[in-house]
Structure 1
Amino acid sequence: MQQSQQARAQASAITSGKTAPETEAAPASQLRALFDRPRLSPGQRRIAQYLIEHITEAAFLSITDLADRVGVSQPSVTRFAAAVGFSGYPALRERLQSIALRTLAGGPGMTEENGSNELQAAVDAELENLENLRRDFADPDQVIDVGRELSRSSPLTVLGLRISASLAEYFAYASRRIHPDVRLVTRGGSVAYDALLQSREAGGTWVLAFSMPRHAHETLTALRVARGAGLRVALVTDLALGEVADEADIVFATGTGSRLVFDSYAAPGVMAAALLQAMTDADPERTQARLEEYEQISDQHHFFLRD
């Protein structure tokens, strides 16, 4: 489903005024709504992932052809359709075809209908991601529970490799204000392995990992090392399906903006801030004491300009 940055550069070139209808489809949020909520089996996740990655072709396959492409049985496809809320495969295929046809026709057409340009269309896509996240936050219990576990883990390891490093650095920077031992891992390979193993040996119990597209092999390997060492993994990523998500104990799936050459991360950023809030709420006395101490130090050494 990932599109090359060269193709995206051509599709998202900034122009003034109204633009022609979009040529790049963005069906990911619709497919997430269909597939992310149910608790799917590994075989069903393979079906979902195939449909996400090959929507314009897969939507028109017969049940036999789809089963053959994915490597599952026809009854597995039927059970998958029921698991995601449809009466059977024909009903699911009808829904997929409506998404695929809009994609082939040039996408949702929001840019043309609203008279907006490419930058405004990118913001519209991020607003949709944030709206999806808002609906997820209708039940905040999982965020609260994970925030409590992250607060208790000492040390707490924060992992983000390649493009995901910026989100990990933000979370680590902020969480160090309220947590006594936060360890940031932004390099893969043996460096990541050493850090994860040392964190576990020091008594750490959790890793908070960020994995944004394009997902790196080294992230997958690092999560496997973490799990193998006995660490639990909370993952902020773009889809609750796939190999990386399979290695996590808890997955927070948030959409990323893909209308421009490089992805934007409005929803993952809010997700990170929500987990930070949950950590502060989990131990308010420690939070208050550490923040007051930091304010005193920052004033003493003039860290910041006065507003």
Structure 2
Amino acid sequence: MPSPQQARAQASAITSGRAGQDTEVSPTSQLRTLFDRPRLSPGQRRIAQYLIEHITEAAFLSITDLADRAGVSQPSVTRFASAVGFSGYPALRERLQSIALGTLAGGPAEESRGNELQAAVDAEIENLENLRRDLADADRVIEVGRHLSASAPLTVLGLRISVSLAEYFAYAARRIHPDVRLVTLGGSVAYDALLQSREAGGTWVLAFSMPRHAQETLTAVRVARNAGLKVALITDLALGPIADEADVTFATGTGSRLVFDSYAAPGVMCAALLQAMTDADPERTQARLDEYEQVADQHQFFLKD
């Protein structure tokens, strides 16, 4: 009998194909697409991030108020509107208002958030709902999963607060991939590991960058790119210096209502990429899972349910 993990690998294959015309796209995804410009200045990225985080309020601000809240000058807002393809701020605001009004019209009625712990759960539910909309088109996840599966070795990078996500991904990936290398220390240790991975034939790195975003993560990603490695990034921001350096970015919201962030949506994103890796080479997946189950039974790794 296959283990539950093997059965899930067989039964949960991701199906390709783009979403239909009536698929709902999250406001966050709409804004990320709208602002996806490789040459935005740091000030322009600050404006974009403020709009992404406060769309229902920011869409109705005057240019003066938006500049004040984003911490930039009024001319910077005008230049930002031009940089993302609009004739000026009034045209940009009209587009933002259509997105905001669609959000308000299509969202559920406001309910009591209860206590702070319940509010934190509500925020994570919203993050997961946004991720669900983003995954309506699974083609990009499928493609990156194939690349990660084919990279031997496959390097997984997570520094500081991002270590836990990197460790989870690497632990699971080792069940289905023959050579997974985990990097959780920055500086020269990370550089050595990345360079050795490339010399050994590796082609891809999966990197994690959660708030607060570490300077050493940016440096390590640049080292990887300079060495000839491709970088897939799981982070909370689609815009910013680390995302600019990555070849592919999966931006998912993080829970920020409590003292320390929670990572429900990034965790699901990890599982989705792991599923895509199993789908990319099903024969290898089953062979490795079979071998692991035999070893686990022999050495009694797990308690009997």
**What is the TM-score of this pair, normalised by structure 2?**
0.77
Match of 1:78 in 2: 81
Is 1:35 paired with 2:31? yes
Task: Among all aligned residue pairs of Structure 1 and Structure 2, give the percentage whose two residues are the same amino acid.
Answer: 70
The letter of the residue matching 1:197 is L
| 1:116 CA drift (Å) | 1.2
Distance (Å, rounded) in 1 between the aligned partners of 2:121 and 2:64: 37
Residue-by-residue CA offset, 1:137-170 (whole Å, 9 max, x unaligned): 1100000000000000000000000000000000
**C-alpha contact (below 8 Å) 2:221/2:245 kept by paired residues:** yes
Q: CA RMSD in A?
A: 3.3
Match of 1:165 in 2: 163
Distance (Å, rounded) in 2 between the aligned partners of 1:199 and 1:289: 24
Which stretches in structure 2 are left out of the alignment for 5+ residues?
1-25, 100-107
| 1:96 CA drift (Å) | 7.2
Which stretches in structure 1 are left out of the alignment for 5+ residues?
1-28, 100-109
Provide the aligned length of Structure 1 versus Structure 2.
Answer: 266
Q: Select the residue among 251, 254, 263 that pairs with 1:253.
A: 251
Distance (Å, rounded) in 2 between the aligned partners of 1:302 and 1:80: 60
Counterpart mapping for 1:291-306 below 5 A: 291-306=289-304
Residue-by-residue CA offset, 1:92-144 (whole Å, 9 max, x unaligned): 44787999xxxxxxxxxx9x941511111111110110011000111000000
**What is the TM-score of this pair, normalised by structure 1?**
0.77
The letter of the residue matching 2:117 is L
| 1:40 CA drift (Å) | 1.6
Report the CA distance shift for 1:74/1:136 in structure 2 as closer, same or farther (over 3 A). closer
The letter of the residue matching 2:47 is Y
Distance (Å, rounded) in 2 between the aligned partners of 1:224 and 1:142: 23
| 1:45 CA drift (Å) | 7.1
| 1:35 CA drift (Å) | 2.9
Q: Which stretch shows the higher mean deviation, 116-125 or 222-231?
A: 116-125
Counterpart mapping for 1:81-160 below 5 A: 82=85, 88-93=88-93, 113-114=111-112, 116-160=114-158
**C-alpha contact (below 8 Å) 1:50/1:70 kept by paired residues:** no
| 1:68 CA drift (Å) | 10
Report the CA distance shift for 1:177/1:69 in structure 2 as closer, same or farther (over 3 A). same
